[in-house]
């Protein structure tokens, strides 16, 4: 095991997969000469050259379409968005082309492509750069959605995503890039898509979440423990495919649940999770399933208002107390 940052874990995954498979290449804005906006691609240009680490123009629609065509031709592109907020300009290529091509070609065109970059809010980036974009991609059949919370998950899931033959939207937490954690040194370390991870075990309530909200959930669980409340913290890791069995196992154990997400509650990820729980585990519930999410407003720029809009451990604790009727 090595202790490395989330950023370094992603870098290792890219380098290892590019060494393993000459069909893998990276393309995006500033990924080559600048080593990546967040330095995830540091050193890759020097090792693999400009044919496999490709700086693109500021044209998300254009270079994403190029990547989809490359995947149709048998290559395995990794397309980096400087932020998924910019990827709205390219979503037609992701949803209307990549996601549907396998189906529309009767299986003749697998699309082994990864779209990756940060999602959600950082610090005072305001409304147009702070959107948690998961739900925009979840709604479409044909795209897998991956949201790692730790360095180990980032590496293992990115390697699995690159090897996958379907389009994958791989969404990273911008505030997680400097986070350190233990990561296996094995170059074949893979975390299968569609498998959740129980980050903390408890018996009183299930806190189900994904992405950087895992760390908010863990802080809340530590506060709850001081009051004698033991919380399961279930990190979904991938939102499509969804590990329904892990969700139901946790809820059937604790009989109470909340869903914590960074994005907006209205038609958010939590809406799907709550529907799944009530369809599959209704008789095990002792309280309604509650959701904790961003305030239903564009993200403010002002620091104090931004803090009020974001989900916090205190809001999670409040929701847990409600489902426990405390």
Tokens linked to 191: 């975390």
163: three-class secondary structure by DSSP = helix
* Residue (of 123, 114, 98, 127) closest to 154 by Cα position: 114
What phi-psi label fits residue 117: left (phi over 0), alpha (psi between -120 and 50 degrees) or beta? Answer: left
Tokens linked to 199: 């980050």
Using CA atoms of 146, 147, 148, 153 in order, give the dihedral in degrees to the nearest 10.
-10
Of the candidates 8, 16, 17, 60, the residue annotated as catalytic is: 60
Where is 244: in which H helix or E strand? Answer: helix 244-254
Tokens linked to 153: 């998950």
- Give Cα 179 to chain centroid, integer Å: 15
Instruction: Look up 60 and say whether it is catalytic.
Output: yes
* Cβ neighbours, 10 Å, residue 145: 28
* Cα end-to-end span (Å), the chain: 42
Q: 15, 44 in Cβ contact below 8 A?
A: yes
Instruction: Look up 129 and say whether it is catalytic.
Output: yes
Of the candidates 129, 210, 215, 262, the residue annotated as catalytic is: 129
Q: Which residues are the active-site residues?
A: 60, 129
């Amino acid at each position: 095991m090595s202790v490395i940052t989330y950023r370094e874990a992603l870098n290792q995954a890219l380098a290892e997969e590019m060494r393993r498979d000459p069909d893998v290449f990276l393309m995006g804005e500033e990924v080559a000469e600048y080593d990546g906006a967040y330095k995830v691609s540091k050193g890759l240009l020097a090792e693999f050259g400009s044919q496999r680490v490709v700086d693109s123009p500021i044209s998300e629609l254009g270079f994403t379409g190029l990547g989809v065509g490359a995947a149709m031709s048998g290559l395995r592109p990794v397309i980096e968005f400087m932020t998924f907020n910019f990827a709205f300009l390219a979503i037609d290529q992701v949803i209307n082309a990549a996601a549907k091509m396998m189906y529309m070609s009767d299986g003749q065109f697998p699309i082994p492509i990864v779209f990756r970059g940060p999602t959600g809010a950082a610090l005072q980036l305001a409304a147009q750069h702070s959107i948690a974009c998961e739900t925009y991609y979840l709604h479409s059949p044909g795209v897998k959605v991956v949201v790692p919370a730790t360095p180990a998950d980032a590496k293992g899931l990115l390697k699995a995503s690159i090897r996958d033959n379907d389009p994958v939207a791989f969404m990273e937490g911008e505030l997680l890039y400097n986070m350190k954690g233990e990561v296996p040194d094995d170059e074949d370390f893979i975390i299968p898509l569609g498998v959740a991870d129980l980050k903390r075990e408890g018996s009183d309530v299930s806190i189900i979440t994904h992405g950087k909200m895992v760390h908010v959930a863990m802080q809340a669980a530590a506060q709850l423990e001081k009051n004698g409340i033991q919380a399961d913290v279930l990190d979904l890791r991938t939102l499509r495919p969804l590990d329904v069995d892990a969700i139901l196992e946790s809820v059937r154990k604790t009989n109470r649940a909340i869903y914590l997400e960074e994005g907006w509650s209205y038609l958010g990820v939590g809406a799907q999770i709550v529907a799944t729980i009530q369809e599959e585990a209704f008789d095990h519930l002792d309280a309604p399933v509650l959701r904790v999410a961003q305030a239903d407003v564009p993200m403010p720029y002002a620091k104090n208002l931004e803090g009020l809009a974001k989900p916090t451990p205190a809001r999670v604790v409040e929701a847990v107390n409600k489902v426990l009727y405390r």
